[in-house]
Structure 1
Amino acid sequence: MHNKLSLLLLAVFTLMLLNACKQEIPLVYSVECTKSVAPEEVATDTADLKIVAPLTDPFAWSNGQGRSEKFADWSRRRAEIGAEIQYYEIGPKPSRPDSIDAIYTGDSLTITITRNGQSLKLVSHIILPEGEGPFPAVIGIGKGSGSLPEKLFSERQIAQVPFQFWDVMAWEQKRGQEPINKLYPELTFMGAYSAWSWGISRLIDGRELVADEVPIDLQHLAITGCSFAGKMALFGGAFDQRIALTIAQESGGGGAAAWRVSETLGNVETLGRTSHLWFTENLFKFSKSVEKLPYDHHELMAMVAPRALLVLGNPDYEWLAEESGYVSCRAAQRVWETFGIKDRFGFSIVAGHPHCRLPEEQYPEVEAFIEKFLLGNTEVNTVAEIHPYPNVDYKKWTAWWGSNNPVFPKTELKNQSAEKIN
């Protein structure tokens, strides 16, 4: 009896200790970026980049000098990943300019950003619930709730704040001729996902400036979008740590899907097939050598950690490369698991519905993440691992992590050799 009581007390103490450690890891931050790393600190000439055929190790330092799985080191490692993505893929995301003004009139928030003697205006028509607030809020790409059903938010007293991305850069940009280029004429080469991420951050800046007038809880912000806007939501959440919850819906290649894995599939959005206008031309140097990229998109997702991320997929559309997204999600999941916060990351890949139309089967996952990370309901279950790929060997893509030997397991190498002989 005494031994059983001792074991019970030990279990309770261990659980309390784990919860205490978990609580030390923030759910969200009050600043756009907790740490920055200059691209020149991580960038390498393309010809000198090493080949990494499997998925890159998110815990390995960019200089090749070891790795760390300690959360205390994650801020630095996260910044390295962000610097690599900016250097090789999307171009630099400009920092906050000194001159930003915001006015809230009626339901309209108008933000004026001035730089280089030029101004850019962001307009957002905010939908506020009835009552005094402050209310959690979702930033929807294009409209208040993105492509998710509005009722998921309106029924929960959550404000909806649309991001009119065209105020910053058009869906198909004309390089050097977009609104953001007036402020940054030196960045004519920038990709749309850098520009749009900048715009999302400036929208949050504007909301902070009118905090006394607009009853929005700035500690409980979400962002969501679908398809190309799903990529936008993912980049926006990755590059602004003030966003507590990111919901990336059917984001495909250039979103949740890993460039390396997509190369092994069929008619999908690979690096060589994606839009040149969304990224920098620098990225397309890797069209036939994706294994030389020093990162992949499981690390883009990992940049959201330790905050919450839910990835939604739809395998009915081959172009979306959902199998690649699944493998990428499994790899990214390791980051949240390592930090003991697995409940903050989930994925739901469900067929049988039109593109960007959330089916009822996916409501529970979305509602759970909204409840926990916008409304603070800790009783809901946010461990979501829903997919149609039981026979996909996702572990082979990450088996090398921690070994300093970036190759597939021997069985995989034998299979590849046999295919070449045949």
Structure 2
Amino acid sequence: MLRLGAASVLLAGLAAGQSCGTLPVTTSFSGNAIKLPDPFTFLNGSKRYELGPMPAAPEVQASLSGTRLTITVKANGKTLTMTPTIRMPSSGQGPFPALIALGGVSIPVPANVALITYNNEEITATNPRGKGKFFDFRIMDTLEQLGPAITKIDPKRIAITGCLRNGKGAIFATEFSKYINALDKLPHNHHILATIIAPRPFLVIKNSGIDYLSPISSYGYTSAARMVYEALSATDAIGFSQVAYGSSHYQLPSSQNADVAAFFNRFLLGQDSVSTKTWKPDAKLNLDLKRYVDWTAPKLG
């Protein structure tokens, strides 16, 4: 997943939201306010069956005309239509890997990767709040339904990206992916969003020069998430690159281009020899992770 002030992730297939589990009748909060909750233990003390089974996808009808996908979703007697656009590589026969960009793209995209631009404001408007088609997001269903013979896109090699609030959207879109076997048995909770993505690729790109982008917080939660990747023997799949630059959170400095390219090359373009050991926090930021984490990660993979 590539994240610019927010995020992008490898996924294949999306499904509707999960219902919440049953909480204990009485809950005692023991004053652990400054600690990051243990993602391997749930509120009731259990370590399994937190998410439950994945519900079936709604009815999805799809078509492709030129560069425009038309997606019609029907569920519970309601219908909505979305029309993301596709920019194909200028050469090659495909099927190509693809990047889904929420609201637009702020990172360099390799020439041999297709770009699908999705107007998420159509689904949930920023202003006014409460307007839009809400969280229905069926692009993956469409790519799988039409197939690479029509779309020229490989649905098994998809990334998602977004900047600022759309980065959070990229994380949520990945969490609702069905690209994990035995989802109900994963020992992950929702406290640290990035842990739900593990062991899929997740790259966080941050501008540490803007306070309201929470550089220390981003460094802290990604470091905690990395412990989960370590538990799954997948540290090469999580990256963090933090540089102080300018006053715009929608810009990517050239010094971070190589970090983005490495994740594209290895996880979308199949170049397994490319190193993705990217862990570059701002040297000026001091983080004592032990101050916030009092749990240890088990060995899962």
TM-score by length of 2: 0.82
Equivalent position of 2:5 in the other structure:
none
Q: 1:339 is matched with which residue? A: 232
User: What residue in structure 1 maps to residue 163 of structure 2?
Assistant: 226
Matched, 1:148 2:107: yes
Q: Which residue of 2 aligns with 1:106?
A: 66
Distance 1:166 1:94 in 2: 26
Aligned to 1:178: 132
What aligned pairs does 1:154-233 form with structure 2 within 5 A after superposition?
155=111, 157-175=112-130, 177-180=131-134, 195=135, 198-199=136-137, 202-211=138-147, 212-233=149-170
Q: State whether residues 87 and 115 of structure 2, in contact with CA within 8 Å, keep that contact through their aligned partners in structure 1.
A: yes
| Equivalent residue pairs, number | 276
- Quick one: distance in 2 between partners of 1:357 and 1:30? 28
Change (3 A) 1:159 1:165: same
Unpaired runs of 5+ in structure 1? Answer: 1-26, 68-72, 84-92, 181-194, 244-293, 403-422
Give the partner amino acid of 2:271: N
Secondary structure in structure 2 of the residue aligned to 1:160: strand
* Structure 2 counterpart of 1:48, from 19, 24, 27: 27
Question: Percent of aligned pairs with the same residue?
Answer: 31
1:385 to 279, 282, 286: 279
CA-based RMSD of the aligned residues comes to 2.9
Provide the secondary structure at the position in 1 that maps to 2:227: helix
Cα deviation, residue 109, structure 1? 0.5
Cα gap change, 1:173 to 1:96, in 2 (>3 Å) = farther
The change in CA–CA distance for 1:363 and 1:174 in structure 2 (over 3 A counts) is closer
Say whether the 8 Å CA contact 1:137–1:221 is kept in structure 2: yes
The CA deviation string for residues 56-110 of structure 1, in whole angstroms up to 9 with x for no partner, is 1111144214x5xxxxx6xx45x37xx9xxxxxxxxx98621x210011111100
Contiguous gaps of at least 5 residues in structure 2: 1-8, 181-188
Sort the Cα spacing of 1:38 and 1:232 in 2 relative to 1 into closer, same or farther, 3 A. Answer: closer
| Higher RCO structure (Cα 8 Å, ≥6 apart) | 2
Q: Give the match for residue 184 of structure 2.
A: none
CA contact (8 A) 2:101 2:160 kept: yes
TM-score, normalized by length of structure 1?
0.60
In 2, the alpha carbon distance for the partners of 1:346 and 1:208 equals 28
Relative to structure 1, is the Cα distance of residues 295 and 140 closer, same or farther in structure 2, using a 3 angstrom cutoff? closer
Aligned twin of 2:172: 235
Partner residue of 1:261?
A: none
CA displacement 1:9-47 (0-9 Å, x = unmatched): xxxxxxxxxxxxxxxxxx9775546xx964133x357x7
Conserved in 2, the CA contact under 8 Å of 1:121 and 1:167?
no
- In terms of fraction of residues, the more helix-rich structure is 1
Matched, 1:63 2:17: no
Query: 1:224: Cα distance to partner?
Result: 0.4
Shift of 1:340: 1.0
Work out whether residues 109 and 124 of structure 1, in 8 Å CA contact, stay in contact via their aligned partners in 2.
yes
CA contact (8 A) 2:11 2:159 kept: no
Structure number with the higher strand fraction is 2
The 1:313–1:49 alpha-carbon spacing in structure 2 relative to 1, beyond 3 Å, is farther
Matched residues in 2 for 1:230 and 1:58: separation?
21
Deviations 1:205-264 (A, max 9, x none): 111111131111111100001111111112212222449xxxxxxxxxxxxxxxxxxxxx
Structure with larger Rg: 1
